[in-house]
Amino acid sequence: MFPRALNRAVLPALAAFAVISGFSPAAAEGIPLAPGHRLVSHYEGGPATAAPLPGQAPPQHPFMAPNGRSGMHSDASGSATSPWSGPLGRKPEVTSEKIAALGGECATATFDSAGRLVTVCGTFSGFEVKLLEPRTLAPLAQYRLPQRSSTVRAISTLDLSKIFKDTSGGAYFYLDNEDRAVLADSRQHILRLSHAQGPDGTWRFKADDDWDLTGQVPHDCADWTNLRPTGTCDPVTSVMPDWNGRIWWVTRQGRVGTVDPATSRIRSIRLSGEEIQNSFSVAEDGVSIVTDHALYSFRADADGTPVAQWRQTYDRGTGTKPGSVNQGSGTTPDLFGDGYVAITDNADDRMNVLVYKRGTEVPEGQRLVCRVPVFAAGASTTDNSLITWGNSIVVENNYGYENITSLVLGKSVVGGASRIDVRADGSSCDTVWQSAVRSPSVVPKLSTGNGLLYFYEKEPNIWGIDAWYLTAVDFRTGERRWRRLTGTGPLYDNNWAPITLGPDGTAYVGVFNGIVAVRDGG
């Protein structure tokens, strides 16, 4: 997911952050450290030895950038894995880039064919698509997106929860097979942006395509000339291509649609009474979408209209938990193993990891492979993607994290992560290990090139110091191998942004004030 869930207390809290974090409106290269960074450990553990994982990588999507480079969840299957090695913990070095005076979080990060970062960064003045140099994080080009309706409403009503409950506006995007960023902006348009270097050496973004969805999507949205709209505004949450190159899109209010890039023909349906706040995943056998009521597999008919191949309801509980954006699954579906799809539910006491068979020929009532309860009773939820490799699933616990005010003054979450494996015969699932790692809200990643899982961790601190760490955990055993301090204070809170492993071995983390990079030293 993406930044969300602040309340009316946030405005004074942000003012306080400006004081305790030491930042001012003046531009700065790095993200400032809050007081206390000299009083906490900067590095713990020891360097790991790369132990590549056996197994087959997710299928390479023909219309997306290579696996590991293409989007928030790494590939079309949503595996959250990268084929190369992340940092091993050898004298790890930290650099950062401050994007804005306030805010600036860079969530989804992708990599073009030359290794440059293409990312979308959210500021209080609007979202920007940015091209960054991967080593220095210096901005090379930017493309400003229209301001989101939620930002206008938040500023005009002094209620920032409207911003941080909004996953639309380009937070989810993908990089295609021609290095173009494809996203839906807050005007309900799908853009396809290329970037190129001009004769003068400067880089620029250019909109190659612009598809207007407003004929299919209600769009009476707030802007500075329409502060109190009386109609309906339905933001577009995410976009992904299918195996034929057709671009699929989903909206918060349950619309599922397609755009044919060759003809610009747009088709859509609505899942009445259901909400979509997550991204979705794609395989040759269909498009997997989870709403706050059910998991679906879709295909497109001859004219591009979405058709549900099957629908599977799950336990959505009786309310929204602290650490969830709505009353439903917080996961993007993971397509993995021998025709499986995995999500989590929102069961009241303990959240469950659910694994289903995704074939269209599966008889009614026989789709569920296993339901595995995870984490402690009354303290169990996640609003982030699972990690899948082979027949294995890794899930983290986000219970208790709601916004950047949740963990100030040394507070943390109950935390926890767990690995679950589907049995070889597909008869059920087993818990392999459980870890106490406290990763409040990050989308974690797995390097199949070295066998390490990467989390963004924060421990409780009796002195009130808010110290954030990139933490490496052994995929095979669940043992924490090392962790490196990235920074102190709320500006280093990742606030639902992911870890992204770069092809050069760097781990990038979107944080509230910009982006952080951790790489092995010399």
Q: Decide if pLDDT at 432 tops 60.
A: yes
Q: Which helix (H) or strand (E) holds 290?
A: strand 286-290
Confidence of residue 10 (pLDDT cuts 50, 70, 90): very low
Share of the chain above pLDDT 70, in %: 90
Coil, strand or helix: which one is 268? Answer: strand
Share of the chain above pLDDT 90, in %: 81
Q: Decide if pLDDT at 164 tops 80.
A: no
DSSP string, 359-397: -TTPPTT--EEEEEE-SBTTB----S--EEETTEEEEE-
Q: Decide if pLDDT at 15 tops 90.
A: no
Q: Decide if pLDDT at 21 tops 50.
A: no
Q: Which amino acid is at 47?
A: P
DSSP alpha helix (H) spans, 117-179: 149-157, 161-164
**Residue 468 vs residues 383, 439, 493: alpha-carbon distances, Å:** 19, 10, 7
Q: Decide if pLDDT at 288 tops 90.
A: yes
Residue ranges per structural domain of the chain: 10-519
Coil, strand or helix: which one is 429? Answer: strand
Cα 80 from Cα 439, distance rounded (Å): 16
Question: Which of 54, 64, 58, 1 lies closest to 335, judged by CA?
Answer: 58
pLDDT, tens only, 26-78: 334 799 999 999 999 999 999 999 999 999 999 999 999 999 999 999 999 99
- The residues, any chain, with a CB within 8 Å of residue 433's CB and separated by 6 or more, are 418, 419, 477, 478
CB-based contact 407:5 (threshold 8 Å): no
pLDDT, tens only, 463-515: 999 999 999 999 999 999 999 999 999 999 999 999 999 999 999 999 999 99
Check residue 160 and give its pLDDT: 61
Cα 440 from Cα 212, distance rounded (Å): 37
Check residue 227 and give its pLDDT: 73
CB-based contact 497:510 (threshold 8 Å): yes
pTM of this prediction? 0.93
Cα 153 from Cα 149, distance rounded (Å): 6
* Mean pLDDT score of the chain: 91
Check residue 208 and give its pLDDT: 98
Check residue 522 and give its pLDDT: 74
Confidence of residue 89 (pLDDT cuts 50, 70, 90): very high
- By CB atoms closer than 10 A (0-12, 13-18, 19+), residue 213 is buried
Reading the block at residue 108, the tokens are 């989804």
Confidence of residue 221 (pLDDT cuts 50, 70, 90): confident
Mean pLDDT of 301-307: 97
DSSP category for residue 191: E
Confidence of residue 222 (pLDDT cuts 50, 70, 90): confident
- By CB atoms closer than 10 A (0-12, 13-18, 19+), residue 196 is exposed
Q: Decide if pLDDT at 244 tops 90.
A: yes
CATH number, domain 10-519: 2.130.10.10
Reading the block at residue 234, the tokens are 């339905």
Block residue for tokens 């952080």? 516
- By CB atoms closer than 10 A (0-12, 13-18, 19+), residue 133 is middle
Q: Decide if pLDDT at 5 tops 50.
A: no
Q: Tell me, rounded to whole angstroms, the distance of Cα 258 from its chain centroid.
A: 22
Check residue 103 and give its pLDDT: 85
Coil, strand or helix: which one is 130? Answer: strand
Q: Which amino acid is at 111?
A: F
Q: Decide if pLDDT at 23 tops 70.
A: no
pLDDT, tens only, 328-369: 999 999 999 999 999 999 999 999 999 999 999 999 899 999
Q: Which residue has the higher pLDDT, 474 or 168?
A: 474
CB-based contact 248:288 (threshold 8 Å): no
pLDDT, tens only, 119-160: 999 887 778 999 999 999 999 999 999 866 656 666 656 566
